[in-house]
Structure 1
Amino acid sequence: MNPKQIIQEIVAEKEVDQVVFVGCGASKADLYPAKYFLEQEAKELRAAHFTANEFNYATPVSVDEHTVVISASLGGTTPETVAANRHAQKSGATVVSLTRSVDSPLAKTADYVIYHGFAENYAAKLEKTGYALQLAVELLHQIEGYAHYDSMQEGFEKIYELAQRSAEAAGKSAKKFAERFKDESGIYVMSSGASHEVAYSTSACLMMEMQWLHSGTFHSGEFFHGPFEIVDRDVPFILLMNDGRTRDIDARALAFLERFDAKTEVVDSLDYGLSSHIPAEVLDYFNPFVLTAVFRVYAEELASARQHPLTKRRYMWKLSY
């Protein structure tokens, strides 16, 4: 079943007043654009976003038969997220899970499953984010109605090809970035809007987990409320810059970084033509696709320059924890 059919079936059987997104690490971050979309566009439908184990230990009392829980795990085996599915169902919620692994524990504990790609190409790595966002759009449109539904569908039709082309075009810039940053011991990452947790996963997963680099992440709008005090000449920053309503927030942070000669790498959706392909009224929600695809190339080049494969781990999957 596709997202539209799944939501049609759910809302035909129950009244839905809340959507809760649950995952861990990069999968949690991949759900954020959908949650952000509902926060921005829904008038009555509530949205929440949890790391899975907090959902398990501190399940909101509002989670009940009127709740749809959307969970995600790439391999479908993340123990905390599998447990979250069970917690959600015990509370009466309907669970829709996103994974690439057929018959995985996550799939077996969900009411509905959508299988996505990942390894095929850069566009496939975005399918989890895309399906979550499609589910959110369908929930809003079928429950409240959504004026820009057709524009979102146009965006979905175009974004994967655009993101793939953008990633393929990023190689030269990515190599320059890798050479500039390969000897850093730590890198800060920030963004805003729907891309806020793209910055989070870039920091937590690509930098800390996959490169063993010290890293911190914060919203571009919060930069001036604490983090900017560490700015100095050659302090390394990555700014994932949005094309849309929050661009001025990112631009303000960039101006400060440049003012004090911080070592700044900007990855900008505007440079890859996002606004010339996606309708303006829904532009904000498609930034994460381009930024995620492009920065994956940057991460691959950094890993190569540092001779530290993205697959290398010290603890993950090797110890009991």
Structure 2
Amino acid sequence: MLAKEIIKKIKDAESNITSVIFVGCGASKADLYPAKYFLEENSTKIRTSLYTANEFNYATPKAVNSNCIVITASLGGTTPETVQATSKAKSLGAYVITLTHKKDSPITKDADYVIVHGFEKSYAEKLEKMIYALQLAVEILNQFEGYANYEEMINGFNNIYDLIEKSAATVLPQAKEFANSYKDENVIYLMSSGATHKVAYSTSICLLMEMQWMNSGSFHDGEFFHGPFEIVDKDVPFILFMNEGKTRPMDSRALTFLKRFGAKTTVIDAKDFGITSVISEKVADYFSPMLISGIFRVYAEQLAIARNHPLTKRRYMWKLEY
């Protein structure tokens, strides 16, 4: 069922939605962030929040009731904390939508609506979860409050898949150079802002710490000058994800400082890949994280090859009880 149809069904049943809560773990939580960011920035009436699943389970917000939409996500649909959160939201009367790659997986059991997304076939398909979550947020805003840039967002959804694929196909030389340059680093720091903030976070905790066993840290580049910039020095490794949109000046300010002191810096810039040639400047902010994520996946794959450490390799995850 499409996002537009799901939200219409919810609105037909409950016209007074006051809260939308996004719930997930790790990369799935980060995939929900652009939707949360969009709704928080544009809604004047709806309370919006994003929870890691066990926080939701242990400290459940009182707003979870029949006036609330809870959107949960789990790639395989088996993440125990998120499965529990989905059931808890349902038991409290919320309208529950879940995003997963596995039809009929445990997370779908107590969901009112299920969107099954792709993953394996392409770089763009790996971003479907993030894209579908944003579509839900756009429909919630437009149907419950109205949204002036709705058509621009629809055009963005129509064009983002091709843009991701075409962009990812161009970066293999740069990705190989990055991999050979960063493969032996003791720590790598990541920064971004706006809707892409949590892409930097998930790249740090998932692609580097989980999948490569590399020490890493991430922070919002608006916070860079309020503590983290003290560790900048010549050849200290950074990755900066630059947005095309309202928060770009923060990204640019951080980049200027990194260059000033000779930090080892890799930049993935949405602007370099022509995002505003196919998506309106009015809404390009919200599509930058999908584009940057798709491009950096190529970099992650090449890093795994250079380190002889497959992205699927784990030491603890799925291997023992924890």
Scaled to the shorter chain, the TM-score interval is over 0.9
SS of alignment partner, residue 221 of structure 1: coil
Q: Give, in angstroms, the shift of residue 42 of structure 1.
A: 0.6
1:235-276 deviations in Å (ceiling 9; x for gaps): 000001111111110000001000010010001101111111
1:225 and 1:109 map into 2 onto residues whose CA distance is: 43
Which letter does structure 2 place at the counterpart of 1:68? I
SS of alignment partner, residue 254 of structure 2: helix
The answer as to 2:26 corresponding to 1:21 is no
The answer as to 2:289 corresponding to 1:291 is no
SS of alignment partner, residue 223 of structure 2: helix
Instruction: Specify every segment of 5 or more residues in structure 1 that has no aligned partner in the other structure, as ranges.
Output: none
Which letter does structure 1 place at the counterpart of 2:170? A
- In structure 2, the partner of 1:7 is 7
Q: Give, in angstroms, the shift of residue 93 of structure 1.
A: 0.5
The answer as to 2:196 corresponding to 1:216 is no
Matches within 5 A, 1:1-321: 1-14=1-14, 15-321=16-322
SS of alignment partner, residue 183 of structure 1: coil
State the 4+ residue runs in structure 1 displaced beyond 3 angstroms: none
1:145 and 1:34 map into 2 onto residues whose CA distance is: 16
2:132 and 2:225 map into 1 onto residues whose CA distance is: 34
Q: Give, in angstroms, the shift of residue 90 of structure 1.
A: 1.6
Which letter does structure 1 place at the counterpart of 2:10? I
1:86-108 deviations in Å (ceiling 9; x for gaps): 11112110100000101100111
1:213 and 1:241 map into 2 onto residues whose CA distance is: 22
1:295 and 1:106 map into 2 onto residues whose CA distance is: 28
Q: Scaled by the length of structure 2, what TM-score is found? A: 0.99
1:292 and 1:250 map into 2 onto residues whose CA distance is: 16
1:40 and 1:94 map into 2 onto residues whose CA distance is: 22
Which letter does structure 1 place at the counterpart of 2:52? T
1:250-303 deviations in Å (ceiling 9; x for gaps): 000001000010010001101111111110111100001110000000000001
Which letter does structure 1 place at the counterpart of 2:196? S
Q: Give, in angstroms, the shift of residue 37 of structure 1.
A: 0.1
Q: Give, in angstroms, the shift of residue 229 of structure 1.
A: 0.5
1:48 and 1:20 map into 2 onto residues whose CA distance is: 5
1:297 and 1:270 map into 2 onto residues whose CA distance is: 18
SS of alignment partner, residue 275 of structure 1: helix
SS of alignment partner, residue 83 of structure 2: helix
1:58-116 deviations in Å (ceiling 9; x for gaps): 00111111000000000000000000011111211010000010110011121100000
1:169 and 1:43 map into 2 onto residues whose CA distance is: 40
1:177 and 1:49 map into 2 onto residues whose CA distance is: 32
1:177 and 1:206 map into 2 onto residues whose CA distance is: 14
SS of alignment partner, residue 313 of structure 1: coil
- Aligned CA RMSD, in angstroms, stands at 0.6
Instruction: Specify every segment of 5 or more residues in structure 2 that has no aligned partner in the other structure, as ranges.
Output: none
Q: Give, in angstroms, the shift of residue 46 of structure 1.
A: 1.4
Q: Scaled by the length of structure 1, what TM-score is found? A: 0.99
1:60 and 1:18 map into 2 onto residues whose CA distance is: 10
SS of alignment partner, residue 280 of structure 1: coil
Which letter does structure 1 place at the counterpart of 2:318? W
1:201-233 deviations in Å (ceiling 9; x for gaps): 000000000000000000010000000010011
2:13 and 2:121 map into 1 onto residues whose CA distance is: 36
1:109-166 deviations in Å (ceiling 9; x for gaps): 2110000000111010010001100000000000000011000000000001101111
Q: Give, in angstroms, the shift of residue 35 of structure 1.
A: 0.2
1:182 and 1:109 map into 2 onto residues whose CA distance is: 43
